[in-house]
Structure 1
Amino acid sequence: MALRMTKLIQNSLKKTLQMLALSASFATIVASPTASAEQLLDKVVAVVNDQIILKSQLDSKMFEQAQSLKAQNIPISDTAALRSQVLDSLIFEILQEQRAKMIGIHVSDDEINNQLQAIAQENKLSLYELRNRLNIEMANGFEKARERIEKQILIQKLREREILSQAQVTENEIQNYLKRQKLANNNTQIRLGHILIALPESATAQQREQALNTAKQLKQRIENGEDFNQLAVRHSDGARALQGGDLGWMNEQEVPTFFADAIVDLSVGQSSAIIESPSGFHLIKLMDKQSSGAGNEQVQYHLYRFIVLSDKVDRMNTPQQLLDITQSMDSIQDFQKLFERYPDIPKEVNAESDLGWRTLDRIPPVIQNDVAKMGAKNALPPLATDQGWMILYLDDVRKTTDASDQERKEAIQAIRSRKANEMFDLWLRRLRDEAYVQIK
């Protein structure tokens, strides 16, 4: 499954009113004599570490999910498969809650209240009106909404800490992201459907072959015209299986790397070939696509500076030794040797030798033309300064978009999301592998 964590949680919160209303309908059913008799026969259907899942919990979740699929026009052709998927989702939910509590993640009242306020505004209600409506629809409806939102925020925070925060973004990745946007001259968004046939972390050859055969059979069924979403609900191991495998809208740069090549030539409605990743075998469907607009390009120079202290600087006569050093310098390693060559210079003088990436307008005018003409991996002739002789080394040159701080933040978030997408299913499976899970 692809993971767009913040947006998924927001979308889930938007549906809180609807799902609570469904739960209210289910509560009415449970209140009937027949349902009450069944409650007396409630039993444990699964054990997750030190926590149990009851049949009544599973039935309630089954009802909600069935209603949700109905709203998406996805028919249920295999109730047993749906039940298995719903049970898996409950297990994963509990595992994430347990993990969050174990590492000390908490949700404040303010965070819950902010989300409730957002839901109220979206439904054109005051918070007071929202509370009344929820309490009318079901007993303690408002409190149940708070509990649901608290759980969603808790899991959101866990995923951000365990996955998103581990996705490191380099400057080159940011620039490549912005450059791709510039070249494409648009910001394309795509909506993907996803089926995952998962592999254990240390899968045997037999397990791998069995999973691959399952993926091949599903691929053939899709080509024969069976509904992709129904197959996802029944057979996918992805965490969005119960949504028909719908990963929602994402920018092209957020698409997991191992999906990207497979969807390049897909038209809307087409499905990919089988894709293999560390988490298993994937089938992707391009469900929809849309575009909007993009940015300007500029040249940047990565400079390093070293000052050789001198009280007697003759601007007309540069020391031959320094000329020889700059003329022979053709790597960052050569530049770093200056620190060994001049160990007596106080460290603070050259403590900030890396000047970073700069456009010409951030380079002193007197040397702008020289820097612009010079190729990477070269040094300028020594420059006379009040402190002594300054050596400037140009390590690299790049073309990049003239991005605002906001655009850079969006690029970083998109890259992190893409990397998190690649890591999420594997992280979930590992969480389950490390836990005690027993299906009754």
Structure 2
Amino acid sequence: MKFIIRALLVSAVLSFSSYAQEVMLDRVAVIVDQGVVLQSEVDALMNDVKRNAEANGQDLPSDRALRTQAIERLITKSLQLQMAQRMGIQISDPQLEQTIANIAANQNTTVDELRRQLRLEGIAYEDYREDIREEIVMGEVRRANVRRRVYITDQERETLIELMEQQGAEQEEYRLGHILIGFPSDPSDEQIDAARERADKVLSLLNSGSDFAKIAIASSSGNEALEGGDMGWLNINAMPTLFAEAIQGKAKDELVGPIRSGAGFHILKVLDTRGIEKVTIEEVNSRHILVKPSIILSEDKAKAMLVKFRAQLEAGEVEFEDLAKEHSEDPGSALKGGELGWSDPNNYVPAFKDALAQLSAGEYSDPVRSVHGWHLIQLIDRRVDDATERRKEDKAYQLIFNRKFAEETENWLREMRDAAYIEVIE
């Protein structure tokens, strides 16, 4: 028995010595201001790069060159994390788990499946979690420090929109229907008036639902009359300027005209389009009363207030505007009788957006709990709005912002590194 105990003690001592030796093998590789980069971090990053390169069949430079790049990456990371600490930026566990769930969803998988895949690759889930947490923190630091360095002028945005429209015009094609109500090459006023009158009658018939091709065959003086007026597919830059200016931005099945030229009066129909980006969004006009629970007003009492308000509104005993002005705790809308104006429902928090989706015009919701408090919502109306121009402006702004943000991030990181104390320990 004594022999066994002694053997166990020796084994424990050896294990402890081995562990102590393993810890001692790690060392400081770089001093970065108030922090350090450990050799184990450098080795881990180099191993990751080597593993990814092998998986992708890529060649790598020497270990010395690779180590230099790994150290630079870790210095940049350390400086950002130190700044995040000074700024008090923290990522809660629920926020982290939600981000990981979003990552899994974007990969068309589940968190459990993601964990299983990490395990197969020899990556501990806790290490993965902390890597994601650090990435989120560094992203917040960059946004906070770089965003204010990005300035975009109206001229920059307008120039890019114009360029995008020119490039888009090269892709745009319209299939046009054409009816020409002609007059002689040197017409009298009476002939012009008569042609105009016939053109107006043709347009009236078309607006009433008459068949375009049938009327074109019967009435058009154009070269495409026997083809039902079908001019085929035309690029916006290839069609007559008169037509291009008239139909640009028109949607499928829209009628245009009569347009006068030297040959007569033209009526056009957009039979189809391709290569044209047209964006429509549904907007809602709504109003609400917001009641926020507090130490004095419990959740149940706040909800009960709104139940009572809804009953009064449906009975016609009170006006929504009066209730909102007196009771709503949303300062932005209370003075307007709770009205929020026309807006994309995606601009609202999920609970509010989902409640609106269930309502018909004029209908009141049940009390809805959001992160802001309890809402009583009325949908005033819905509409479909053409957001093509707005989308172009947003896209141009985002393209310029992304480019400038990337440039300024590089400048900011370089300035931060230049100002920091860095000592690489060989």
Band the TM-score falls in, shorter-chain normalisation: 0.3 to 0.5
Normalising by structure 1, report the TM-score: 0.40
Normalising by structure 2, report the TM-score: 0.42
Comparing both chains, which one has the higher relative contact order based on Cα–Cα distances under 8 Å and sequence gaps of 6 or more? 1
Greater CA radius of gyration, 1 or 2?
2
